[in-house]
Amino acid sequence: MAIYFYKINEEYGCFSNFSHHGFELDGKWWMTSEHYFQAQKFYGTEYAEIIRLLDNPMKAAEMGRNPNLPLREDWEEVKDDIMRKAVYAKFSQNIELKNILLNTDSEYIVENTSNDYYWGCGTNGSGKNMLGIILMEIREKLKLS
């Protein structure tokens, strides 16, 4: 059996990077893990702080995907670890979320998105599901803490 998530208003919606569960990381407050993730694409530039301060995660995602902004050169190498860092901060600092994740026991977790074959499962389920995999990794790490 598997747990599928995508929309923040559905069961397990808190697993989404768009869920409004803030956390502190790198000495700053982040409204969502989406804000943190998108801002890190422009680490060391003014765009990172602009994204951090946006009032919703959709705006952060849109700005983070803007091809006219200067994406950091090592992005493809660091993006998974940046996501791990954000997801760990979110779930370790929000006790309610931590408990929800831990209560999934050993279920397989899937970001059920049709348009993302890297972070989600994609239309036909052939996607890499990296967000789901990272959530399961963080679940194991939290079990030990």
- Predicted confidence (pLDDT) per residue in 79-134, tens digit: 999 999 999 999 999 999 999 999 999 999 999 999 999 999 999 999 999 999 99
Q: What is the mean pLDDT of residues 41-62?
A: 98
Distances (CA, A) of 23 to 26, 55, 87, 90, 105: 10, 15, 10, 6, 24
Mean pLDDT, rounded, of the chain: 97
pLDDT at 60 over 90: yes
pLDDT value at 145 more than 90: no
Cα separation of 107 and 124, whole Å?
A: 20
Gap between the Cα atoms of 145 and 140, Å rounded: 9
pLDDT at position 1, please? 83
Domains, the chain, ranges and CATH?
2-143 (1.10.357.40)
Tokens describing residue 99? 């408990």
Q: What is the pTM of this model?
A: 0.96
Q: What is the pLDDT of residue 68?
A: 97
DSSP string, the chain: -EEEE-STTSTTGGGSTTS---EEETTEEES-HHHHHHHHTTTTSHHHHHHHT-SSHHHHHHHHT-TTS---TTHHHHHHHHHHHHHHHHHHH-HHHHHHHHTTTT-EEEE--SS-SSSS--TTS-S--HHHHHHHHHHHHHHT-
| Percent above pLDDT 70 for the chain | 100
Q: Could you tell me if 33 and 86 are in contact, meaning their C-beta atoms sit under 8 angstroms apart?
A: yes
End-to-end CA distance of the chain: 26
Measured in whole angstroms, the distance separating CA 90 from the mean position of its chain's CA atoms is 9
